[in-house]
């Protein structure tokens, strides 16, 4: 038997409804903030990610889903969305469009990792990017859009945690300070951190090993070492969010696993989301586009892990989406065509209707409707049909009435069946 590739998965109905619905909310909310969807290739030259995400990151170091095409070129299935957006921005001369440019994207990303619950090699992400604006208001907008999206899904008590990574120029100074402060305790750090010491010292900051955390807690936060400009920027973002009533919290040790971030980096936490499981993260990346050979265009954005988001979706949302009940339309005798006509009348009104097309008896049809979870069954045939009507039966109440065919959709809409 042919099986799915490791780390991929099949999302079947009704589970798939949650994806469709979450994506619809995203399109609506982000669209409302002026973001339009950009659809990009899943496959990019490996070089793009090495240069944007960063050589020393885990993503590039060991998680890229890379392989050679028939001509030996190294291709990689996109591990994240921002790099591709930056590439497309440059390649299509989007700097010529009215600035700033607001883009959203959604779709599968790939990371070649050992999989586990909530972690797949192919996983969905939803994100937005605001390109061409470097003000605190730009960051605040992006975070507000994110906050609004999650709130629309029914999440409460959302807190945005953010940190100030400063500008690239600040980094050597900070890293030097960090390493100096940890110098004497170097041996006490975990093996991974010892490795990070030389390769990517910033990552020591968000190590999960308890001892490392203790040691790191005693060091000077990045935010205190950054330039005055960077400090004002992130403080401005925080202030703007507070004015908007969005809960913000400083996370002095927050570092994200991508090299291109500077100044603002953030994540969203919520009681429902659990402590260690990040479902969403983002930040500012003013040098990314120019580093890739494009114009000097600043950017800020975030990405949400869709798989995890769906795992922790509020019950209210799940129930609303999964609790939908279809209408079933059953023919009696030679009423196949009329049955389909009734389904069409309902379908165009947005009422999900299933036609009975297997030729089973009315009795078997009702049994089937029950199993589908239908609340209403429309029975087409016999005397009523001769009079231009059908029977609308409420399965929960066990009541039914004859309704003229032309009015079926109206009646179902009125009784709240949709």
Contact positions vs RNA (CB under 7 A): 1, 3-4, 6-7, 58-59, 63, 80, 111, 113-121, 123, 125, 192, 203, 206-209, 256-258, 276-281, 303, 305, 307-308, 332-333, 358, 360-364, 366-371, 379, 381-385, 391, 393, 395-398, 400
Instruction: Pick the closer one to RNA by CB: 240 or 261.
Output: 261
Instruction: Pick the closer one to RNA by CB: 143 or 240.
Output: 143
Min. distance of Cβ 209 from RNA in angstroms? 5
What's the token pair of residue 18? 């949650």
Instruction: Pick the closer one to RNA by CB: 35 or 120.
Output: 120
Min. distance of Cβ 3 from RNA in angstroms? 6
Count Cα atoms within 13 angstroms, Cβ side, for 170.
19
Instruction: Pick the closer one to RNA by CB: 295 or 333.
Output: 333
Instruction: Pick the closer one to RNA by CB: 240 or 374.
Output: 374
Q: Is the peptide bond before 14 cis (omega within 30 degrees of 0)?
A: yes
Question: Other C-beta atoms within 10 Å of 156: how many?
Answer: 10
Is residue 65 within 8 Å of residue 110, measured between CB atoms? yes
CA pair distance 253, 202, nearest whole angstrom: 9
Min. distance of Cβ 172 from RNA in angstroms? 20
Q: What is the CA 325 to chain-centroid distance, rounded?
A: 26
CA pair distance 102, 35, nearest whole angstrom: 5
Instruction: Pick the closer one to RNA by CB: 287 or 308.
Output: 308
- What are residue 123's DSSP bridge partners? 109
Min. distance of Cβ 146 from RNA in angstroms? 12
Min. distance of Cβ 356 from RNA in angstroms? 9
Min. distance of Cβ 366 from RNA in angstroms? 3
CB neighbours of 149 closer than 8 A, spacing ≥ 6?
25, 26, 29, 30, 304
Count Cα atoms within 13 angstroms, Cβ side, for 39.
0
Q: Tell me which DSSP letter residue 81 carries.
A: S
The H or E element spanning position 52 is: helix 46-52
Instruction: Pick the closer one to RNA by CB: 133 or 403.
Output: 403
3-state secondary structure 208-227: CCHHHHHHHHCCCCHHHCCC
Min. distance of Cβ 379 from RNA in angstroms? 5
């Amino acid at each position: 038997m042919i099986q799915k590739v490791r780390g991929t998965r099949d999302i079947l109905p009704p589970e798939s409804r949650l994806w469709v619905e979450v994506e619809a909310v995203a399109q609506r909310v982000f669209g409302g903030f002026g973001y339009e969807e950009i659809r990009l290739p899943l496959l990019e030259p490996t070089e793009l990610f090495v240069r944007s995400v960063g050589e020393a990151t885990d993503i590039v170091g060991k998680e890229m889903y890379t392989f050679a095409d028939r001509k030996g070129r190294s291709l990689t299935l996109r591990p994240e969305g921002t790099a591709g957006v930056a590439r497309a921005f440059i390649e299509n001369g989007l700097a010529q469009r009215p600035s700033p440019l607001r883009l959203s994207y959604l779709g599968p990303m790939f990371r070649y990792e050992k999989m586990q619950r909530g972690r797949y090699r192919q996983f969905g992400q939803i994100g937005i990017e605001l390109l061409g604006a470097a003000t605190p208001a730009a960051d605040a907008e992006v975070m507000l859009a994110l906050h609004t999206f999650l709130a629309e899904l029914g999440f409460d008590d959302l807190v945005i945690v953010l940190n100030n990574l400063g500008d690239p120029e600040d980094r050597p100074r900070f890293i030097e300070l960090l390493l100096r402060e940890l110098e004497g305790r170097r041996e006490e750090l975990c093996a991974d951190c010892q490795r990070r010491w030389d390769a990517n010292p910033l990552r020591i900051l968000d190590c999960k090993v308890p001892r490392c955390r203790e040691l790191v807690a005693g060091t000077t936060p990045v935010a205190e070492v950054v330039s005055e400009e960077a400090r004002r920027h992130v403080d401005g973002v925080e202030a703007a969010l507070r004015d908007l009533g969005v809960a913000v919290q400083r996370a002095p040790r927050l570092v994200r696993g991508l090299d291109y971030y500077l100044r603002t980096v953030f994540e969203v936490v919520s009681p429902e989301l659990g402590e260690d499981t990040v479902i969403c993260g983002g930040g500012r990346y003013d040098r990314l586009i120019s580093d890739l050979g494009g114009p000097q265009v600043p950017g800020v954005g975030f990405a949400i892990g869709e798989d995890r988001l769906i795992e922790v979706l509020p019950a209210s949302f799940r129930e609303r989406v999964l609790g939908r009940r279809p209408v079933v339309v059953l023919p009696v005798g030679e009423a196949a065509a009329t049955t389909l006509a009734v389904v069409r009348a309902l379908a165009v009104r947005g009422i999900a209707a299933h036609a009975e097309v297997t030729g089973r008896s009315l009795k078997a049809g009702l049994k089937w409707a029950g199993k589908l979870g239908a609340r209403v069954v429309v029975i087409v045939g016999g005397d009523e049909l001769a009079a231009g009507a059908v029977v609308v039966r409420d399965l929960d109440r066990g009541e039914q009435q004859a309704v003229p065919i032309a009015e079926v959709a109206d009646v179902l809409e009125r009784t709240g069946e949709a």
